[in-house]
Amino acid sequence: MKRILIAGASTFGVKNLGDDAMFCNLVEGLRRNIPDCEITFLARHPDERFDEVFGVQSIKNFEFDCKQDSLGKWFRGFNPGDSTTHLKEIREAISNCDVMVIGGNSFMEISPSDFMRGVGSYSALLATWAKLFEKPYVLYGVATP
């Protein structure tokens, strides 16, 4: 069985029908080509209903739950006083996967002044974790400005 970690930098799973359609296409394509795959999804808001609809298991990602909580901060778990419990769960998901899928959004937010903020930095963080764990990663649905 192939274990796939979808760690997209998109708004998958937040009731955005366009992004959810792209997620559906990704999951269906994976299952068509790798029928015995098990999919874990790093979600902004893990949701049992979403998991049931798409046949995935969601865990909390690096994002804060709302924009207000994220103002002036880096990704969740990397700020003074942040809990790191979710980082251990992410570490386990990466350690157990066979491949990580990164993408599903554009890199329009790339800015040297926004270290560890925005889509580009988020994707670079995921790619770095994949490299640290010696896991292959692929980009999916990524557009550049």
What's this model's pTM, rounded to 2 decimal places?
A: 0.84
Q: Pairing relation of β-strands 38-43 and 3-6?
A: parallel
Q: Where are the beta strands (DSSP E) in 35-143?
A: 38-43, 57-60, 99-103, 137-140
What angle separates helix 85-96 from helix 118-132, to the nearest 10 degrees?
60
pLDDT of 92-131, one tens digit each? 999 999 999 987 665 555 555 565 556 677 788 888 999 9
- Chain centroid, CA 65 distance in Å: 14
pLDDT of 23-67, one tens digit each? 888 899 999 999 999 999 998 888 899 899 999 999 998 888 888
Paired strand residues for 139: 102
Q: How far apart are CA 145 and CA 133, in angstroms?
A: 30
